Chain A
């Protein structure tokens, strides 16, 4: 085959390969959403983060506005310290509430921010002080069973009294 034809085909082949890797990174992977332009960092402490992972989305009113950057265990307070990167375009009041929610019944966990009413806004390096932990299913079930057991016991005692 002609030399230039081979060159052309190999060029097309390599370009296709690079395009495929690029496409995988952008369309399939989360490379685009993990660096959302300029960001500022805030931290939040949770007693229990459940299954929250780095790169998990941070949403407010359902819109993704940031990403979880890192999670470390604070051995002084025995809490999980979560670093969050938020899009610079969005400002939040200082008394914003950070909750850990689950998408669907078995979906991944994400942080939901609910804006408070204060005038001053969160700045780079600030800490969100109002947080709510992830719901632990076992705890909820055991609480439910405990309540159920105490209910039946109390109804039995009232019956015996009658």
Chain B
């Protein structure tokens, strides 16, 4: 009885200590990246190469999903709006939901699955094969050489991908609404322009995607850097990247929306 209780408390204590330790280690890694800010922008070639790996190679999945999301929004929106005789408002519905929410959030989720996992696996394997230790032996900081360029690449890529997602999604909605369903093209664009505000909707969407870019890339980098140097450790770290990034993005989205709407 007493022994069982002790076991419960030991387990709880262990988890709390590990959680606090991981938060501390993550914060330390983050501050290191900030510390090497100047150094990493002195060698932009490293960042450019990482933008290619995280951003350009994610383009296909982002654009294709955006087009389909936009088309589905168009169909579903039309189905409901036509009951109220205002099917022209479909443009507003598609544009607002994409620019405010779906653009940044779905891009971040796809980004975590497409690019985040790649980052974690790459860094985890670099650690497992002791490439990072080898760099330290040569007095090259692995944070400056490996971590920081990937971080900045993720932060730069995410808003670009989210903006492309929103734009292509709107085109997908247009494709369903105007040629297929037969909504008037002028009404589609003009109603959209009348109710989408540049500052309140588009800029807020960009701010969201920048925050998601920081969070997703940071989680992927930290999980890789923190992974146990075994095959199992890397695989677990990759799983944790997807789970933690997705949860962080959805939770943060709620907080950011609450602030932006000013509730």
Interface residues of chain A, those whose CB is within 8 Å of chain B, are 1, 6-7, 9-10, 12-14, 16-18, 20-21, 23-25, 27-34, 55, 57, 104, 106, 108
Q: Which of B52, B56, B99, B160 contacts A24 (CB 8 A)?
A: B99
Residue of A nearest to B189 (CB): A27
How many whole Å from B56's CB to the nearest CB in chain A? Answer: 5
Interface residues of chain B, those whose CB is within 8 Å of chain A, are 48-49, 51-52, 55-56, 59, 86, 95, 99, 156-157, 159-161, 163-164, 166-168, 170, 189, 192-198, 201-202, 206
Give Cα A18–Cα B194 distance, bound, in whole angstroms. Answer: 23
Q: How many CB-defined contacts (below 8 Å) exist between A and B?
A: 83
Instruction: Show 11 A/B contacts (Cβ-Cβ < 8 Å), sorted by A.
Output: A10-B48, A13-B51, A13-B55, A14-B51, A17-B161, A23-B167, A24-B99, A24-B167, A24-B170, A29-B193, A108-B195
How many whole Å from A141's CB to the nearest CB in chain B? Answer: 20
Known contacts: A28-B95, A28-B99. The answer to whether A16 contacts B160 by CB under 8 A is: yes
Contact: A28 with B56, CB < 8 Å? no
Q: List, in ascending order, chain B residues with CB within 8 A of A25's CB.
A: 198, 202
Contact: B198 with A21, CB < 8 Å? no
Q: Which of B59, B170, B189 contacts A13 (CB 8 A)?
A: B59
Contact: B197 with A10, CB < 8 Å? no
Residue of A nearest to B160 (CB): A17
With A13-B160, A28-B99, A106-B86 given, can you name 12 additional A-B contacts, CB distance below 8 Å? A14-B51, A16-B160, A18-B160, A20-B164, A20-B168, A21-B206, A24-B166, A24-B202, A28-B196, A29-B196, A30-B197, A33-B193
